[in-house]
Amino acid sequence: MTRTLALLLACCLPLAACTQSSTPPAASAQAAADPAQLALDAWLEAFNSGERAQLEVFRDRWKPGMDVDELLELHAETGGFRLVRREPSEPGTAYALLQELESDTVVRDEKIDRLAQAVKTGEPARFGIRPIDPPEDLRVPRMTATDAIDALVAKADEQAAKDAFSGVLLVANGDEVLLQRAWGLADRAAGTPVTPDTKFRLGSMNKMFTAVATLQLVEAGKLALDGTVGQYLPDYPNAEVAQVTIRQLLTHTGGTGDFFGPEFDERRLSLKTHDDYVRLFGERAPTHPPGTEPRYSNYGFLLLGKIIEQVSGKSYYDYIDAHVFSPAGMRDSGSSPEEVAVPGRAVAYMRQDGAWTDAADTLPYRGTAAGGGYSTAGDLLKFARALLEGKLLSPELLAEATRNQTPWYGYGFMTREQEGVRMFGHAGGAPGMNGDLRIYPDLGVVVVGLANVDPPAADRLVGYYLLRMPM
């Protein structure tokens, strides 16, 4: 999904609700006159405090049913939001334009979605957050290539000095690498620094490799975009999911849901193959009617991995090695199990109680087609160039895969137009890992950010550069 400069916060509240609680301090005469404005101001004040007690007071007063822990996590990532201005609204509804304090971009869309789900359904107050393109008066001026790189380095220096970033940034234009630099520590216990060649866990960035493999098999006539799960996995347990198409899996419109949660947490080290995941989750019905709407689905991409295995006769990992990594020249990428000591792979660190802690106890046994594995910034540049040079997919199929099949996604690629310029790639994030790859095919520009700490450490810096780079 896309990253933006600002977001619109909407609060809807029945006028009668003002009698259900004491009145929080009003930030303006308008807020004092309208309970929806009161609720919005109270939420912003509580959120920006970063204090559990204040957030709990807000939750109890306005009853939005929100998750305080998730809001505290979001605050740690963003530093809070600045109120840019209030937007016109009808009585009982409040709109405000907000900007993240820690940068000029908002949090990653996954976080926005989580926050929206946490607060939009409560009574008497209903909250919703949606990302928007920045208004013209809030756009960051474009810079020269040299100045944009200098600004990015300065921002990364600042984040690293605050221990908010540990990783690698790479910017290339055509054959020229404009920036490839490392910050922070790959292993804090050993004092091992990150280098430009450090291997980082990729999270959902791996979905790009899965999509390429799937589309290669489509080009080879072994898969059809409108073929179904049941066609390629005849014994699939759930009849409804068996009717989901390859196209729907690639676009997150299959209703196949997620697999992360208590069941995964209890069994993560015993889930060693794609078959193991299907045995555990294959009986589940769709989360919503397939084909009706896009909802990000890790399980859908795991099914693509199983289908790749079934159709190719190879393990998912062997297929990716032979048909993606090898032709792209990616010699520092792989999907070895976590128990294997991979030379040069950074330790994953997650924020816990205000300190960075080894995230090993949260990691799966091994990455899957939905996400995982590892790579370097240099290898991801090779992947991007191999795509653009037609080494992995035909130009025609790549064009189809990287145009909007949904408002924010193609076939395994996040897609967007920025000021009329096409961009595609994928981000990934989980405890102890964060990465982002952005490709501008018409400009020949490739931007990579990788980190061995929590999101949005790399996302934030990639977004910072994207707003300033010459277009």
Instruction: Give tens-digit pLDDT for 238-286.
Output: 999 999 999 999 999 999 999 999 999 999 999 999 999 999 999 999 9
Question: How many C-beta neighbours within 10 Å does residue 176 have?
Answer: 9
Is residue 121 located within the same domain as residue 191? no
Domain annotation covers residue 162: yes
Domain annotation covers residue 265: no
Average pLDDT over residues 382-400: 98
Per-residue pLDDT, 133 = 63
Domain annotation covers residue 107: yes
Domain count, the chain: 2
Q: What is the percent of the chain where pLDDT is above 90?
A: 70
CB neighbour list of residue 236: distance below 8 Å, 6 or more residues apart: 229, 230, 242, 278, 282
From 115, 138, 161, the end of a domain falls on 138
The sign of the CA dihedral 379, 380, 382, 387 is positive
Per the CB < 8 A criterion, the answer to whether 457 and 159 are in contact is: yes
Residue of higher predicted confidence among 418 and 91: 418
Q: How does pLDDT run across 297-337, given as a tens digit for each residue?
A: 999 999 999 999 999 999 999 999 999 999 999 999 999 99
Is residue 163 located within the same domain as residue 78? no
β-bridge pairing 355-358 and 349-352: antiparallel
Is residue 44 located within the same domain as residue 120? yes
Residue 194: is its pLDDT beyond 80?
A: yes
Per-residue pLDDT, 307 = 98
Domain annotation covers residue 316: no
Is residue 354 located within the same domain as residue 423? yes
Is residue 169 located within the same domain as residue 70? no
Residue 58: is its pLDDT beyond 70?
A: yes
Average pLDDT over residues 374-389: 98
Measured in degrees and rounded to the nearest 5, phi and psi for residue 304 equal -60, -40
Residue of higher predicted confidence among 176 and 32: 176
Q: How does pLDDT run across 124-157, given as a tens digit for each residue?
A: 456 666 556 667 777 789 999 999 999 999 999 9
Domain annotation covers residue 270: no
- Expressed as residue numbers, the domain containing 35 is 6-138
Residue 70: is its pLDDT beyond 90?
A: no
Is residue 162 located within the same domain as residue 48? no
Is residue 349 located within the same domain as residue 200? yes
Average pLDDT over residues 389-413: 96
Domain annotation covers residue 158: yes
Any idea what the CATH number is for the domain that residue 186 is in?
3.40.710.10
Per-residue pLDDT, 108 = 38
Is residue 96 located within the same domain as residue 197? no
What pTM, to 2 d.p., does this model score? 0.85
Is residue 123 located within the same domain as residue 198? no
Domain annotation covers residue 242: no
d(CA 38, CA 128): 15
Q: How does pLDDT run across 437-447, given as a tens digit for each residue?
A: 999 999 999 99
Nearest to 297 by CA among 245, 257, 249, 246: 257
Per-residue pLDDT, 40 = 82
Is residue 75 located within the same domain as residue 165? no
Residue 101: pLDDT band with limits 50, 70, 90 = confident
Amino acid at 269: L
Burial letters 346-361, b for 16+ CB under 10 A, else e = bbbbbbeeeebbbbee
Q: Locate 99 and state its tokens.
A: 């900007």
Residue 109: is its pLDDT beyond 70?
A: no
Number of H helices, E strands in the chain: 17, 16
From 116, 138, 160, the end of a domain falls on 138
Domain annotation covers residue 95: yes
Residue 367: pLDDT band with limits 50, 70, 90 = very high
Per-residue pLDDT, 33 = 55
Question: Which region, left, alpha or beta, applies to residue 233 given φ > 0 means left and ψ of -120 to 50 means alpha?
Answer: beta
Residue of higher predicted confidence among 31 and 443: 443
Is residue 30 located within the same domain as residue 84? yes
Average pLDDT over residues 413-425: 93
Is residue 39 located within the same domain as residue 125? yes
Q: Locate 236 and state its tokens.
A: 């699939």
CB neighbour list of residue 26: distance below 8 Å, 6 or more residues apart: 32, 37, 38, 41
Question: How many C-beta neighbours within 10 Å does residue 266 have?
Answer: 9
Residue 20: pLDDT band with limits 50, 70, 90 = very low
From 138, 153, 176, the end of a domain falls on 138
Q: How does pLDDT run across 217-228, given as a tens digit for each residue?
A: 999 999 999 999
